[in-house]
Structure 1
Amino acid sequence: MSVYADFHIHSPYSMATSPSMTPESLLAGAAMKGISVLGSGDALHPAWRKAWEEHENDTGIAVLPTAEVEGKGRVHHLILMKDFSAFEELAGIFAPHSKDIATGGRPHVHLTGEAIAAAVHDLGGLVGPAHAFTPWTSLYAAHDSVASCYGGETIDFLELGLSADTSYGAGIRELDGVPFLSNSDAHSTHPAKLGREFNGLDLNRVTPEAAFDAVRRGKITLNAGFFPEEGKYNRTACTRCYTPYSLEEAVRLGWTCPEDGGQIKKGVFDRARELGGGAPSERPPYYHVIPLGEIIRVVLGVSSATTKKVEARYYRLVETFGTEIAVLAEVPVAEIREADPAVGAAVEAFREGRVHLVPGGGGKYGTFTLP
């Protein structure tokens, strides 16, 4: 059966995360979104592991134990395991190298990518770089190659991040054969965050073990997520005033913005071009999506997807058609138009690619308009 999975989220024990992140609220949010396999997030944290292990999950949604760590060079690594006991063992291995392994949802582990990957592989887990292209805390921010970070260890997947899609990595020859993942990295259960990027899997049964095995074997049938321009690090830009610059301009200016003296940060678009150049490898399709709440926000002409007007319209559509992903990708436009003419027209425009994008950069999300 074809299902959708979001492997990378966080718990209330991570920084800048909503306190509403509980197993109950996350599973409810995943069901509303249409996510059948959800990463637990932060499984190295003892209280969060306990919360999941003690929760009676009768939703039919499979919860796969996952975690993110920050290693040497400020590189973030995403880890997948078959069960929570493996994360308990991994936490013990990391403990001598981390001051916050028992307190931080995303702990700092003072080990190289190679050492982290070796520990994960020894326990039968999967590991790969999180949001690999972003200019902060990523593989390609700190290294020019996978081997420079992971040494003799292999990576089992690469997470693209919100500012990239498949095309950004498909021409990088060292990534040939490495599965790509697209995940939300959600810090909130709000539908504009949870499941905003996801993966398609073809599973015989919806279980953590089956989802783990699908990633291990590279059986990803679909990646879905933002138009890359929507991401907040897509283009090279100042981190203070967000003025965009070409790569050549940034180099000439010494990476200092002449407008306010802020630091210019290289965008994912330029970084991927530097690393690429090979013939694009064959990949599963990438489906560009805009969160339904954001589409409704633009239709209503309001500034936030969390307003009562937006949420009321969102919940009405999801109740009518089952899940948000169904509205975005599966339900015939004619049926959506019948239920909500304005949103139906906007969904049709977005599906047809009639979207005007203003790229984000420097830490500011991109914006879009629909006809």
Structure 2
Amino acid sequence: MKQFYADLHIHIGRTRSGKAVKITGARTLTFSNVLQVASERKGLDLIGIIDCHSPEIIEEIEAAILDGEIIEKCEGGLLYKNTTIIPGSEIEIYDHNCNGPIHVLSYFPSLKAMKEFSTWMSGHVKNITLSSQRIYCDGRTLQKIVKSLGGLFIPAHVFTPFKSLYGKGVQSSLTEVFDPGLIDAIELGLSADTKMVKNIAELESYAFVTNSDAHSLGKIAREYQKIQLEEPSFAELEKALHEKENRKVIANYGLNPLLGKYHQTVCSACFHQVLNISGPCSACGNKSIIKGVSSRIQELSIVKMDGEYKRERPPYIHQVPLDFIPGLGPKSMEKLLEAFGTEMNILHDVTLEQLKEIVHDKLAGYIDAARKGTLIFEAGGGGKYGKVKKES
């Protein structure tokens, strides 16, 4: 068995011809750029690109296969250099069973299966070319279609205040929307970690994944996981999510929840932290409050007795992405990449002494502290990211 780094939630901003896919995604976030950055700069072994239902993206994949740039793997997935792509789609549900919208992720073993899903999906959305489109069917129907094509189904960023399973405070159980037996894992989102959600009983049977939800090239791998597999492929990923044959997620690497932009409850006008959710903002009097992830998780949690925990979770490591580190600008970043190859190497393999040979001691210290989780943060909320304040 080997260990591999995986980010399973990466968007496409624009097609090769410049047409929008994820409207809020960067123009530079093209399929080819994602492959290059994820493989050569970030050093990821496995990536989920979740806008592959878009017909022009399918055409780009087909062209890359014909050119020999991408190879279809027998065990599922598409190989680009040292990185395996899992083609997927992010979809928005809003049906009579829920007060959505709710975002979900579906992944497929082959381009053929992805094309079949795209064809089916085109009859149930208004614009098949765009990302995260609302689908006009219920959640269970969508699950069955994904499973009939051999796919994986994962509710996305389940605690964020907008477009998530639990976020709006209406659903109290995933069974209100989904067939629990057809869920392969749960994506926590940027403002939550394993420890925060340990008392939500209905999630105990699922593996947790932590992904970037990247809308720009720089945000790829801001959250990811280390997975134990024989080799990166769709079939191996499926086994890992269900902890079969010693395949498993062995560590989650994510933002300290304080850095997430929806962690605390805040006023929607001035972003002042609000402690009394039912009352107006004490700073400006505004009555529109955005409930934070931490508050929502507390509502869903049931405190358990000692010894009641059944599932042993892998460690969740609070690792600050290199983009967040104070003083780490483009020039310093390029120096580090030239010396050490990829961001995964910088974050996991390089010693503090090696860092000091390339950048000044203070910056090297910040990078090392970020890796060890010893930085102090200013909490985020209401759509505003938290900030790194200083080293503790």
Aligned equivalent of 1:198, options 224, 232, 237? 224
Counterpart of 2:186 in structure 1 is: 158
Query: Structure 1 stretch 62-71 or stretch 210-219: which is displaced more?
Result: 210-219
Is the aligned partner of 1:61 residue 2:83?
yes
Counterpart of 2:298 in structure 1 is: 273
SS for the counterpart of 2:123 is: helix
**CA distance in 1 between partners of 2:164 and 2:109 (Å):** 25
Counterpart of 1:306 in structure 2 is: none
Q: How many residues are aligned here?
A: 353
Shift in Å, 1:132: 0.4
**CA distance in 2 between partners of 1:262 and 1:103 (Å):** 38
**CA distance in 2 between partners of 1:16 and 1:70 (Å):** 15
Cα deviations by residue, 1:10-35 (Å, 9 ceiling, x for unpaired): 11211211122223211221121121
Counterpart of 1:147 in structure 2 is: 175
Cα deviations by residue, 1:164-196 (Å, 9 ceiling, x for unpaired): 111122221111120101011111112xx0111
Aligned equivalent of 2:318, options 277, 288, 313? 288
Shift in Å, 1:213: 3.7
Is the aligned partner of 1:355 residue 2:380?
no
SS for the counterpart of 2:365 is: helix
The share of aligned pairs that are identical, in percent, is: 32
Cα deviations by residue, 1:37-75 (Å, 9 ceiling, x for unpaired): 111221211111221232213512101111100011200
Shift in Å, 1:7: 0.7
Q: Does the CA contact (< 8 Å) of 1:37 and 1:211 recur in 2?
A: no
Shift in Å, 1:203: 1.9
Counterpart of 1:103 in structure 2 is: 129
Aligned equivalent of 1:227, options 256, 276, 285? 256
Counterpart of 1:30 in structure 2 is: 38
**CA distance in 2 between partners of 1:97 and 1:28 (Å):** 33
> What CA RMSD, in Å, does the superposition of the two structures yield over aligned residues?
1.9
Counterpart of 2:28 in structure 1 is: 20
Is the aligned partner of 1:46 residue 2:72?
no
Letter in 2 for 1:27: L
Is the aligned partner of 1:185 residue 2:209?
no
The structure-2 alpha-carbon separation of the partners of 1:60 and 1:349, relative to structure 1 and needing over 3 Å to count, comes to: closer
The structure-2 alpha-carbon separation of the partners of 1:228 and 1:8, relative to structure 1 and needing over 3 Å to count, comes to: same
Shift in Å, 1:151: 4.1
**CA distance in 1 between partners of 2:132 and 2:179 (Å):** 23
Taking structure 2 as the reference length, the TM-score comes to 0.85
SS for the counterpart of 1:229 is: helix
Is the aligned partner of 1:4 residue 2:5?
yes
Counterpart of 1:93 in structure 2 is: 120
Shift in Å, 1:294: 2.1
Higher strand share: 2
Letter in 2 for 1:143: Q
Counterpart of 2:92 in structure 1 is: 70
Shift in Å, 1:135: 0.6
Shift in Å, 1:293: 2.7
Query: Structure 1 stretch 226-235 or stretch 284-293: which is displaced more?
Result: 284-293
Is the aligned partner of 1:259 residue 2:284?
yes
Unpaired runs of 5+ residues, structure 1, are 301-309
Query: Structure 1 stretch 351-360 or stretch 59-68: which is displaced more?
Result: 351-360
Counterpart of 1:245 in structure 2 is: 274
Letter in 2 for 1:40: I
Counterpart of 1:366 in structure 2 is: 386
**CA distance in 2 between partners of 1:286 and 1:182 (Å):** 9
**CA distance in 2 between partners of 1:199 and 1:209 (Å):** 17
The structure-2 alpha-carbon separation of the partners of 1:94 and 1:27, relative to structure 1 and needing over 3 Å to count, comes to: closer
Q: Does the CA contact (< 8 Å) of 1:224 and 1:287 recur in 2?
A: yes
Cα deviations by residue, 1:190-223 (Å, 9 ceiling, x for unpaired): 2xx0111111111212334433443354721111
**CA distance in 1 between partners of 2:321 and 2:141 (Å):** 37
Letter in 1 for 2:87: P
SS for the counterpart of 1:349 is: helix
The structure-2 alpha-carbon separation of the partners of 1:180 and 1:152, relative to structure 1 and needing over 3 Å to count, comes to: closer
**CA distance in 1 between partners of 2:158 and 2:53 (Å):** 21
Taking structure 1 as the reference length, the TM-score comes to 0.89
